[in-house]
Structure 1
Amino acid sequence: MSTDDIRSRGLAKMNEVYGWEMPDIEGDPYFDLTVDHLFGDIWNRPGLTMREKRIMTLTAVTAVGRQDLAEIQVNAAMLNGELDHTELKEIAVFLTQYLGFPLGSGLNGTVDKVANNRRKAAERGEGEDKRANVNAAVKMSSGRTLDEQ
């Protein structure tokens, strides 16, 4: 597989995982590794469904207290139809028993926050705020939003 094919495959999977169109940030070694290896290879491996991968990722980011990353995963899971509000709340209840109240309640609050934001946007007749999601992801990889680059 050519370098261009690997990059295209990685970006396509990254877009599927996050539920929005991710820009290709060239020249950032961390972003390159993320797109080419994590999304081009690991997220494309057979054996687990997208839903199973999403639950595992959500569990991992919750376990390390990264509610910012949990928010991205919750939003994408809802957007892609992999998990609904009720299922995500059950995940929070379940994880609280293993991770403790502070981390579990953090996820529970994130689930409610995302669900409420999505409901309000729908009531206003707005689509998904993809620019905000892209900016959050870009900031994670480069430390700067698209507007700051």
Structure 2
Amino acid sequence: MSTDELRRKGLEKMNEVYGWEMPDVQGDPYYDLTVEHLFGSIWTRPGLSMRDKRMMTLTVVTALGNSDLAEIQVNAALHNEELTEHELKEMAVFLTHYLGFPLGSKLDGVVSKVAKQRKKAAERGEGENKKANVNAAVQMHSGGKVHDDHDQ
């Protein structure tokens, strides 16, 4: 598979995983690696469902105590209807007994925050805050750099 095909495949999977259109940021080696390897080769592997992969990703970011990454993943799980708010809350309870109260309750707080934000946005008829989600995901996958030069 050519690099261009791998990049196209990776961007398609990235869009599916996050549930919104991700920009094709050029020239950032971290972003290139994320698109072409993580999403083009790893997330596209058969054997685990998207729901399985999402649960594993949420478990890891919870174990690391990274609320920013958890927020992105929770929002995407709800957007893609892979997990319900209730199931995410149950994950937090379950993980608390393996990771400890501080980390488990942090995930529970993230789920509550994201659900509240989504509900308020829906009540205002705004849908989701896609620009914030895309910017956070781009920053996460580009070595912490913010890229404002892409279209939303």
TM-score by length of structure 1 reads 0.96
Matched to 1:110, the amino acid is: V
| Structure 1 gap ranges (5+) | none
Aligned to 2:106: 106
Correspondence list, 1:30-49, <5 A: 30-49=30-49
Task: State the 4+ residue runs in structure 1 displaced beyond 2 angstroms.
Answer: 142-149
Structure 2: distance between partners of 1:124 and 1:146: 28
Identity of aligned residues (%): 72
Aligned to 1:72: 72
Shift of 1:146: 3.1
* 1:66-109: CA deviation from partner (whole Å, max 9, x where unpaired): 11000000000000000010000000000000000000000000
Structure 1: distance between partners of 2:126 and 2:27: 34
Shift of 1:2: 1.5
Shift of 1:20: 1.1
Aligned to 1:143: 144
Matched to 1:12, the amino acid is: E
Shift of 1:147: 2.8
Equivalent residues, number: 149
| Structure 2 gap ranges (5+) | none
Shift of 1:29: 0.8
| Greater relative contact order, per chain length (Cα 8 Å cut-off, separation 6+) | 2
Structure 2: distance between partners of 1:49 and 1:147: 32
Matched to 1:41, the amino acid is: S
Instruction: Give yes or no for the alignment of 1:6 onto 2:6.
Output: yes
TM-score by length of structure 2 reads 0.94
